[in-house]
Amino acid sequence: MNSSAHPLPCTDSSTRLAWAARLRKEVTNNVLPWWQREMFDEQGRVLGGRGNDGALRELPRTAVLGTRMLWTFASAQVRLGHDPATAQAAQRAWDWVRGPLTDSEH
């Protein structure tokens, strides 16, 4: 493996800042947009899951995944700053958790 492709973090502040910027860019430009685009259906419901190849898997739509998505998008708003697409994803996850997952009887 080429060590320059994935340098190990070290303790100097300039390297830490560079790694932090690189990770922030990856999360902001790739990770969050993928989850926003690929893990909700057209009605805004959380999907059950996707395979490693990106194909939709017929899995139960669970509270665990829905609340993790809610936490992720809400946390991103706080830690990374306001982004309309991330705010919308947080709202979609909240609406899904508060809708089909809420037991109005108990």
pLDDT, tens digit, 9 for 90 and up, residues 25-79: 999 999 999 999 999 999 888 999 999 999 999 999 899 999 999 999 999 999 9
Predicted TM-score (pTM) of this structure: 0.79
First vs last C-alpha separation in the chain? 56
Tokens 């979609």, residue?
92
Strand partners, 40: 46
* Helices 63-80 and 84-98, axial angle in degrees (round to 10): 150
In this predicted model, what pLDDT tens digit does every residue of 5-35 receive, in sequence order? 666 556 678 888 998 999 999 999 999 999 9
Length of the chain: 106
On whether the CB atoms of residues 86 and 42 are closer than 8 A, the answer is no
